[in-house]
Chains A and B, each alone.
Chain A
C-alpha cells in the first residue's frame, strides 16, 4: 500500500548514495529537502520501511508553537516556526498553516507562576508571548468554562498568537514533491536491516531490497531509532512509548484556537474539516504496539469535558497511537554518533511535528558539514555525560 505516485517518482534503490536517510517521515523528508536546497546535495536516498509519512507524521495532533522555556529549545523551535511561516509559499503547496493561537491554561498558582515565567523567558528570546487573565481567556476562546467553581478553575493562560496548526499530510507531500524534483530518491517499502561498518565508519546499509552503499547515513526514524541504532552497536538514552490521540465526529466551526492544559492534561484544536483533534499523555510503559490503554483516553476526555462542557455529547470517531521516542530530559538528540558518518536525529518525544522544518534544516547542515549546526549543538548525545541537560519536562508547556 503506497500513496499515489504522481507527486513523486517511486524508484528502486540505486547501488550507492552520498547520503542515505533512514525514515521517510516529516523529519526525514525535510532533511532531504534542505540537503538539496541549502547544501546542493542531491545524490540522496530516503528509505522508508512502510509508505511515506505513514508513521508518526500521520498520527500527530499537528500543533505548532515555539513557547519553550529554555534558551536552546526556544532557539530551535522558533527557527522552525519562522520556517513554517514561509513554507507554503516556498514549497508552492497550501500546507493549511493556520496561526490561530495556542493557549496554555493555568489551573493553580504553580501553573500561573510557571506560565508568567515562560512568557517572560519567551519574550527575552524574541518569541511572541502574552499572559491572559481568566476574563481575557473567555474573550479569546468563549467556549472554555472559566467558572471559579470548576473543579480545576482556569486562573489564566499563556498565549502564543503565532502558534497554530498545519495539515500534516500536505506538509509531507509538499516536501516529498520538492525533494523528488531535486532528484532525491524516495524509496518506499525498504526496511533497513543492518549497517555495514568498516573500521569505525559506516559504509553501507543492508535493506530488505539489498545493500546500498552510503557516504553518510542519517537516522530519522522517531520511535524506532533505538532498534536501528542497536544494529549499529549504539546504545541510546531513549525509551519508546505509545502516545494516543483521537478525533471526534465533524462539527461546525466551534473552536478557532489551540487549547492545551498541563494540569488536567488535554490538548485540543479543530481541524479544517471540522473534527476536534485531541491528544493525551504517553502511556507509561515501553511499547512499539501503536495502541494504548483506554484509561488514558478516558482521563483525557474527562479533562476535555472539564474545560469544554459544550463537548459533552460529541462522539469519538477514531483513536490511534504513535510510538514516540522519549529522552531523559524531554529534548531531542541531534548530531554525530560514536560511528563515523552515522548521524542521529531522535528523541523528539511527544512534540516532533512542530519541529519538522527546523529539524530538517539543522540536521541537513549537520550531515553536510560533518559537524553540528549551532542550533543543534546543545542537543548532542554528549550532554548525558557532561550533565548539560536541557530539561524541558514540564517546562515546555506540556507534561511529557
Chain B
C-alpha cells in the first residue's frame, strides 16, 4: 500500500485516495482533427520509471494534487 503525502492533510494511506492518471493533460483548443482528439482522450504516457500523476484525496480534504511516483519502486518524491 502506498503512503501518499497529501499537501493539505499530510501522509495518508493509499485507500483514502482516488487515482487520476497522468498529470498535465491539457484540453485541446480550437479545431482538432480526429487524430488529435483521440490523442487527448485515449493516449497517455506509460513509462517504466518516474511518472507525473494526479491523486484525489477523496476521503480527506477532497483536493486534487500532483505527485511524481516511480512505477517500478513505487517511491514518491514530490507532492
Q: What is the interface of chain A, defined by CB distance below 8 A to chain B?
A: 224, 226-227, 235-240, 284-289, 293-295, 328, 384-386
Smallest Cβ distance from B23 to chain A, in angstroms? 12
Q: Is B51 an interface residue (CB 8 A)?
A: yes
Q: Are A288 and B71 in contact (CB under 8 A)?
A: yes
Instruction: List 7 additional contacts besides A294-B1, A295-B13; criterion CB under 8 Å.
Output: A227-B48, A239-B21, A240-B71, A287-B71, A289-B74, A385-B34, A385-B38
Q: In this complex, which of B34, B35, B44, B46 has the most chain A Cβ atoms within 10 angstroms of its Cβ?
A: B46
A238 proximity list for chain B (CB < 8 A) = 46
Smallest Cβ distance from A287 to chain B, in angstroms? 5
Complex: chain B residue closest to A326, CB-CB: B46
Bound CA span A300–B38, Å: 34
Answer whether A286 and B1 are a contact pair too, CB < 8 Å, given A236-B46, A240-B46, A295-B14.
Answer: no
Q: Are A293 and B44 in contact (CB under 8 A)?
A: no
Answer whether A293 and B53 are a contact pair too, CB < 8 Å, given A237-B43, A238-B46.
Answer: no
Q: Are B44 and A239 in contact (CB under 8 A)?
A: yes
B21 proximity list for chain A (CB < 8 A) = 239, 286
B51 proximity list for chain A (CB < 8 A) = 286
Q: What is the interface of chain B, defined by CB distance below 8 A to chain A?
A: 1-2, 13-15, 18-19, 21, 34-35, 38, 41-44, 46-48, 51, 53, 69, 71-74
A293 proximity list for chain B (CB < 8 A) = 1-2, 14-15
Q: Are B42 and A286 in contact (CB under 8 A)?
A: no
Bound CA span A294–B2, Å: 10
Q: Are A384 and B48 in contact (CB under 8 A)?
A: no
Smallest Cβ distance from B63 to chain A, in angstroms? 18
Question: Which applies to chain B's interface (DSSP): helix, strand, loop or mixed?
Answer: mixed
Smallest Cβ distance from A69 to chain B, in angstroms? 21
Q: Are A224 and B48 in contact (CB under 8 A)?
A: yes
Complex: chain B residue closest to A325, CB-CB: B46
* 5 smallest beta-carbon distances between A and B, as pairs: A284-B19, A226-B46, A237-B42, A293-B1, A385-B38
Complex: chain A residue closest to B13, CB-CB: A295
Smallest Cβ distance from B14 to chain A, in angstroms? 6
Q: Are B53 and A286 in contact (CB under 8 A)?
A: yes
A239 proximity list for chain B (CB < 8 A) = 21, 44, 46
Complex: chain A residue closest to B42, CB-CB: A237
Complex: chain A residue closest to B37, CB-CB: A385
Bound CA span A51–B2, Å: 30
Answer whether A295 and B43 are a contact pair too, CB < 8 Å, given A224-B48, A385-B38.
Answer: no
A285 proximity list for chain B (CB < 8 A) = 2, 19, 53, 69, 71
Q: Are B43 and A235 in contact (CB under 8 A)?
A: yes
Smallest Cβ distance from A48 to chain B, in angstroms? 17
Bound CA span A227–B45, Å: 10
Q: Are B19 and A289 in contact (CB under 8 A)?
A: no
